[in-house]
Structure 1
Amino acid sequence: MAQLIKLENYISRYQKDPFHYPGQFIRLKQENWRKLVQTWEQQLQIETEIDEQDEPAENLSKWKQFFHRREQVESEMDEESIIEDLPATKDDLKQYFLNMLLPFQLKWASTTIQEMSFLDRSYYDDLTLKYFLQRFPDTFLLLYRPVFQFKNAAMDGDIILITPIGINIIRLIEIDSTKRLIAGDDRTWYSEENNVRSRLLSPMLSLKRTEKIIRSILSVNDLEIPIEKVVLSRTNSIDFNTEPYLTTFIGKEQHEQWLSEKRNFISPLKHNQLKIAEALLQFSDTISVRRPEWKQDDSEKDFNL
């Protein structure tokens, strides 16, 4: 599960300590996954024993209630904080766990101990955000459409993944699946259906703008890392003659292989990776207010499931 270190112009606790939170997230995630699996296995065992004994259904309900209790970790999450029936299979349990982690990631990406940003609730249902968070490794650090404050001007950035070995700047293009995309120049692309073409603004415009911002920040901080621009479409084919320099086009035919390569990438967090994350976060625009009532947070409590 990729880590959401910056969400647009919201305050992020990763900004306060980019060297601490990435490692802490991985550790807490692993601990809570083990706890959830243990609870799930105990529940299956109890249900099996009750089925074998053919006990009344009300007794089974009592056992479920016992194993479904958990601590309330968000004051604003009442019913959401109660575990309902756990899934029947291990694969479904994994997806259940990833969904459970989303609110905690959004909290970390919109609050610190003393400050908060007013989070748009639509992010809880943002399927694109879920895709990038849930389908990439823990050591990938995600800046989701960040806003950079650069030379007294706010500049929107594309989706950025900081991996242990490089930066991917990603522009997502998804239109009607019956159409195909045709790569043009730096200003104009096309969509085509039934031999009818329509103009689109080239994704290379924003990708190059984001790349320029990142390279400027890295240069100021004397940092280096490979940067790749990616045009990604999970729903459409992309027709092109040649890919621009340091750019990859990933259409629907290439998507699964590209994603599989990312998911199977194994590497610990790297110091240079965290230095780069720190530099980009320092130049990120942030809008926040002081929390009206705050107390010393125990970040580990955020992960008690």
Structure 2
Amino acid sequence: MLPIAQLIKLQDYISRYEWNTYRYPTQYIRLKNENWNKLYSVWMNSSLQELAEPSEAELESEQQMGKFSKLKAKLKRKQKEAESYPETDSDSEPEANQYADLPETEEALKQYFLNKLIGHQMKWATSTVSSTSFVDRNYYSDPLLKYLLQGFPDTYLIMYFPIFAIKKAPIETEILLISPIAIEIVRFLEENPNSVIMAGDERTWSIETGNEQKKILNPIIGLKRAERLVSSILASLSIDFPIKKTILSRTNSIIFNTEPYNTRIAGKKDYADWFKEKRRLTSPLKNIQLKAAEALLKNCQTTSIKRPDWEKDDAPSTVSDLEE
């Protein structure tokens, strides 16, 4: 099946996952798979129809033309039946949906489907049945967010720079990747491809580009702060779940003497290994994983408004609602 991680929290926007953390991850995977199978069936039928197109020589006689017209009409009917999903009030069934202008290759079809899912994921991560948040439209085209969602398996739950509310004080943290086996706190460093990142032991690191040098705050400081926060939330509920810290760069080498304790550093030479390691994880969703995610979501800050009555959903959205 297509890998597509789940966006369970985006900044301080209201999320359907915080409304029911145990229901939505499994429901999303099921609906995603159902809709991919339906789309693939529609695409296959379209391809078969194109293969059935006769040559000019085969269309010379009226009899042949008549046979072809009947065959083409039959194929069109089958395609329309495949594209028409029955309307239902149940969450378990997709809503009616039409896919037009499908790509020619299977790989392009997969990317088409994944791109459609981004909009749907944003909907689930910024609204519930009765409430919604005002969303910065830049998140819909955020390349890093899209990369994370389309790069990891379904069982990865992503909190994208969540804002926690600790003693009524908002605290923005790093990206959290919640897999079935651990919570990974991630910081990406993306500089000029010609730059080299020099890790230090003090409060600053250096970015060297030719003869120029600039200082940045040591990213480990933010990772440690996020680790302490996440650890305290889990400990308060007696949840024992591993926490890791990771610094990544897809574009730059990171030079360091020794890797900090419980912190992985992967520059552009090592990044591919880290990425493959995450994608190879085949474990299903775990109860302890969902329990940890629920605890974190309940301690996040949420900013939203009530939807007007005429905009309220009768039921949670399904993945087939890809156009919204």
Query: TM-score, normalization: structure 2?
Result: 0.84
- The one-letter amino acid of 1:181's match is I
1:106 lines up with 2:109 in the alignment: no
Could you say what secondary structure the match of 1:268 adopts? coil
Deviates more, 1:191-200 or 1:177-186: 191-200
Instruction: Give 5+ residue unaligned stretches, structure 1.
Output: 74-80
Q: Which runs of 4+ in 1 moved over 4 A?
A: 51-55, 62-71
Could you say what secondary structure the match of 1:253 adopts? coil
CA deviations on 1:257-277 (whole Å, 9 max, x unpaired) are: 211111111001000000000
Which residue in the other structure is 1:97 paired with? 113
- The one-letter amino acid of 1:132's match is L
1:28 lines up with 2:45 in the alignment: no
- The size of the alignment, in residue pairs, is 294
Which residue in the other structure is 2:297 paired with? 281
Deviates more, 1:212-221 or 1:290-299: 290-299
Which residue in the other structure is 1:4 paired with? 7
CA deviations on 1:237-256 (whole Å, 9 max, x unpaired) are: 11111111110111111111
For 1:224 and 1:51, the matched residues in 2 are separated by 65
Instruction: Give 5+ residue unaligned stretches, structure 2.
Output: 60-64, 66-71, 88-96
Aligned positions of 1:123-272 closer than 5 A: 123-272=139-288
| % identical equivalent positions | 45
Q: Compare CA radii of gyration and give the structure with the larger one.
A: 2
For 1:67 and 1:237, the matched residues in 2 are separated by 53
1:197, CA displacement in angstroms? 2.7
Matched-pair contact (CA < 8 Å) for 1:207–1:229: yes
Are residues 217 and 39 of structure 1, via their aligned partners in 2, closer, same or farther at CA, if it must alter by over 3 Å? same
For 2:136 and 2:308, the matched residues in 1 are separated by 19
CA deviations on 1:25-62 (whole Å, 9 max, x unpaired) are: 0000110010011011001001111255679xxx99x9
- The one-letter amino acid of 2:320's match is F
Matched-pair contact (CA < 8 Å) for 2:129–2:316: no
Query: TM-score, normalization: structure 1?
Result: 0.89
Could you say what secondary structure the match of 1:248 adopts? strand
Which residue in the other structure is 2:62 paired with? none
For 2:165 and 2:186, the matched residues in 1 are separated by 20
Could you say what secondary structure the match of 2:171 adopts? strand
Which residue in the other structure is 2:320 paired with? 303
For 1:185 and 1:303, the matched residues in 2 are separated by 50
CA deviations on 1:195-228 (whole Å, 9 max, x unpaired) are: 4432111111211111111011011111111111
**Over aligned residues, Cα RMSD in angstroms?**
2.4
1:6, CA displacement in angstroms? 0.3
Matched-pair contact (CA < 8 Å) for 2:28–2:319: no
